[in-house]
Amino acid sequence: MPDDTHETRIPASCPASISEILNHAWNHNLASLKPLLSVPGRASVQEPTTGETPLHAAIRSCGPQTQGNDEANSKQTVTVDIKAAQAVVQELFLSGAIWNDVDSNNETPGCVAARLGQEELYNMCVGAGMRAELLFGLLDGYEALESDVEDEEEEDENGSAAAEESTEDQKDAPEDIILESDPDRAFSPPQAGDTVTSAAYLRANLTYTDGKLVDDEQNGVMMAWETSIMRASVDALLPGLPAGKRILNIGFGMGIIDTMFRDTQPSRHHIIEAHPEVLKHVETSADCKFGKDWESNGPAEGAYKIHAGKWQEVVPKLLEEGELYDAIYFDTFGEDYGQLRMFFTEYVPALLDEGGIFGFFNGLGADRKVCYDVYTKVVEMHLTDAGLDIEWNELDVDMEGLGEEGKGEWQGVKRRYWTLDKYQLPIITLMG
């Protein structure tokens, strides 16, 4: 449990220009804080050794939400503190405070609020995160949407990886860039966290072992613990599991979801897979039941097929051929959120037949609850913009074996990309 005391978080060594702001935030002294925030960047100063920001300080000093015996008394104390804290947090956000800076405990202000059970403050962090990410999407999203294969390959030839994250990855702070050279933000976070780029992933060697598929840097591409999520996704995409449906799945991975789709006896089952080693596994592994025999045993020519290639290249061809589906699932690896957004904005409305359902693996920001909650809201707004309706089904995730980095299911996997005991399963339909 992190040490939340004032002397630990704002040590005596803290430069006066920073500690002054942090202390006013800690004490919820809005009157003294406000004038200091009129200088750009001051709402995001960081204690150089602990990474404490004014947001962390304002939230942390509230302590844990109490539910003591003397309810009337404790409620009153909490209400007074929380109202003052809320006013400070609001002022900080208005003055440009960054919602997802991490401190030396690898906690964002939202993580601190969640740990202390400070729900209102937590919700303020989620709201600020959503607004920041929507704005970032407006400023930069179009570049991401238009970034095509060539852009990506160009970056790759130059050996420099774009700041790209997987849909199974956490989105980091675009805002971090803004104040990078500010000496009052000299703190370096404990885990910078590498990101996987699509082009590098598609060139990597892959290993199928018991219960997981990893790349040559031990990034978990797909893991068997996700089976219950795949099961619930199939049940949601094909309510009642009727036979004869037309299905499109993007990303074969371990074939977990495709095996479930296949068991429903679809009339069409198309899979798109880009990685050469996954395709080789499909062809050569005795355990894999999606090879040539499966393709040739479909109810019609081309009804069961693995389309080799990136979905960005294959999907336009399927559209030209007039394919329509009752169920579409999207679960790739190494791609940024812009790609998922492009898929549901530009292609889902054209590929989904009336009454059809679209779903995707919702792992955005899943290594941190506050990021997951922010991205769930961001995706919802973007889906609505794209003319799609969304419902969320909350699932319990059995965390047995998933609780600790490098242990249990995560043994041999570089990064614990899932940390949450709840999964938000998206069920998406065309707006009526």
Q: Which residues bind ligand SAM (CB under 6 A)?
A: 198, 221-222, 230, 250-257, 272-275, 278, 310-312, 331-335
Please say which residue, 255 or 365, places its beta carbon nearer to ligand SAM.
Answer: 255
**In the complex, minimum distance from the CB of residue 307 to ligand SAM, in angstroms, rounded to a whole number:** 9
Instruction: Identify the burial level of 131 via C-beta atoms within 10 angstroms of its C-beta, where 0-12 means exposed, 13-18 middle and 19 or more buried.
Output: middle
**H or E, element range at 145:** helix 119-146
**In the complex, minimum distance from the CB of residue 71 to ligand SAM, in angstroms, rounded to a whole number:** 48
User: What per-residue string of b and e applies to 201-231 under the rule 16 or more CB within 10 Å gives b?
Assistant: bbebebebeeebbbbeeebbbbbebbeebbe
**In the complex, minimum distance from the CB of residue 221 to ligand SAM, in angstroms, rounded to a whole number:** 5
Please say which residue, 102 or 342, places its beta carbon nearer to ligand SAM.
Answer: 342
Please say which residue, 122 or 360, places its beta carbon nearer to ligand SAM.
Answer: 360
Cβ(425)–Cβ(359) below 8 Å:
yes
DSSP 12: T
Pairing of strands 422-430, 388-396: antiparallel
**In the complex, minimum distance from the CB of residue 263 to ligand SAM, in angstroms, rounded to a whole number:** 13
**In the complex, minimum distance from the CB of residue 222 to ligand SAM, in angstroms, rounded to a whole number:** 4
Residue whose C-beta lies closest to ligand SAM: 253
Please say which residue, 334 or 426, places its beta carbon nearer to ligand SAM.
Answer: 334
Q: Which residues contact 164 (CB under 8 A, 6 or more apart)?
A: 195, 196, 197, 198, 334, 335, 336
Please say which residue, 37 or 318, places its beta carbon nearer to ligand SAM.
Answer: 318
Place of tokens 């959503």: 130
Please say which residue, 48 or 251, places its beta carbon nearer to ligand SAM.
Answer: 251
Task: Determine phi and psi for 405, rounding to 5 degrees.
Answer: -50, 130
Cβ(414)–Cβ(166) below 8 Å:
no
**In the complex, minimum distance from the CB of residue 342 to ligand SAM, in angstroms, rounded to a whole number:** 11
